Amino acid sequence: MKRHTARTLLAAGGLALATSLALTGCGSGFDDESSTGTAAPGDLTSSDDALTIMIGSSGDAETKAVEDAVAAWSKQSGTDASVVVATDLSQQLSQGFAAGSPPDLFYLSTDAIAGYASNGSLKAYGDLLSNKSDFYPSLVQNFTYDGQFSCAPKDFSTLQLIINEGLWEQAGLTDADIPTTWDQLADVAAKLTTDTTTGLVFGGEFARIGVFMAQAGGRLVSEDGTTAEANSDANVEALTYVQDHLKDGTFAYASDVGAGWGGEAFGKQLGAMVIEGNWITGAMGDYPDVKMKVAELPAGPAGQGTLQFTNCWGMAADSPNQKAALDLVEYLTTSDQQLAFSKAFGPMPSVQSAAETWKTDNPDLAAFLDGAAYAQGVPTNKGASDVITDFNAQLESLKTGDPKTILDSVQSNLEAVVG
């Protein structure tokens, strides 16, 4: 998920409302009489129809990689398939479903899954995957809706600590000073803070501040998705810790230092450390003089914690050729193909069998993949994205606000949509 488009999305809070709102009341699409599909093993349709795959691409490298992979599968399988690169994925998907002509397969984000699954637009095929057990369990959980593993995770990223090596050395710090606790993080942030640079910078939204909540042992929604837990003592402790260091000037939001997101603040050396995902590596090409080191985020009172972000290969419920679509997904999510995608445009493989090779190929980025063992996904409950958008608005004033009051408001809003 290391794309500029993903980067922009996450900087805005990691949650897009357009898809879920557009899907409200949207039917499954195809006219039953026009479908050429017939039942196949696993309750999948099967026909001679070609497949259409819609993606949201970061650029030429990703587009070519996906097109080449689909073409190779098409040649091998004998099934025609074409890739459509969306200019606005959320809008074009919702329009396709509304018009009764959605793509067979498509990129689908965690915040959009509830909208598609709840109105019957999405085919839940995860349990039919031959490589089901190879996906990281936390990713499977991200794409499980109403007890069903809905779709195969295509790739993912976690958030970790990015350190400016030059500024680190100027402050007299060494590898032995890389923080492993909250207290140590506060100490090095203070040492790195100058008149022109803040020690630690991150986006002022849940999609970044949420790592501290995880490290304190908190969540917005229980792991099983049935209970709102926003105003827990752990979350209050996390926001209070962040607030304390926003006040003392050693932490700052990216917007408060004149940057659009953490990567820009880091590249312009407005922040000596930032909390970001592995997509930051692409942005650093704009700042060739800045050397970065990736470290795992320090543990909080409850231990290590971070957030993860991912997309899956969504399948249309009324696709007339779901059997071929499933075969294509299995091809695209093999270890070899995911490693090829990684080399082409940077995402982390979603299958565990590719982990050691990926870390060998990307030793400087290994911390991102190590985070998979303790990462939390964002809530996928229908309506949760609206709540998080409101939470983000309240976090803008965290420096002067009351953490408990903010979280009580989030709790109330979540209780209306969870359970």
Continuous segment of H or E residues that includes residue 52: strand 51-55
Q: Looking at residue 42, what is its pLDDT?
A: 62
pTM of the model: 0.85
Q: Is the CA virtual torsion 345, 351, 357, 360 positive or negative?
A: positive
**Cα 196 to chain center, whole Å?**
31
Locate tokens 């260091």: which residue?
245
Domains in the chain: ranges and CATH = 4-158+309-376 (3.40.190.10), 160-296+383-415 (3.40.190.10)
Report which of 132, 219, 220 is spatially closest to residue 414, judged by C-alpha positions. Answer: 220
The pLDDT of residue 59 is 87
pLDDT at site 33: 34
Residues 241-277: tens digit of each pLDDT: 999 999 999 999 999 999 999 999 999 999 999 999 9
pLDDT at 146: 87
How far is the C-alpha of 227 from the C-alpha of 72, rounded, in Å? Answer: 45
Residue 330 and residue 129 in contact, taking contact as beta carbons nearer than 8 Å: yes
Taking 70 as the pLDDT cut, the residues of the chain under it are 1-42, 419
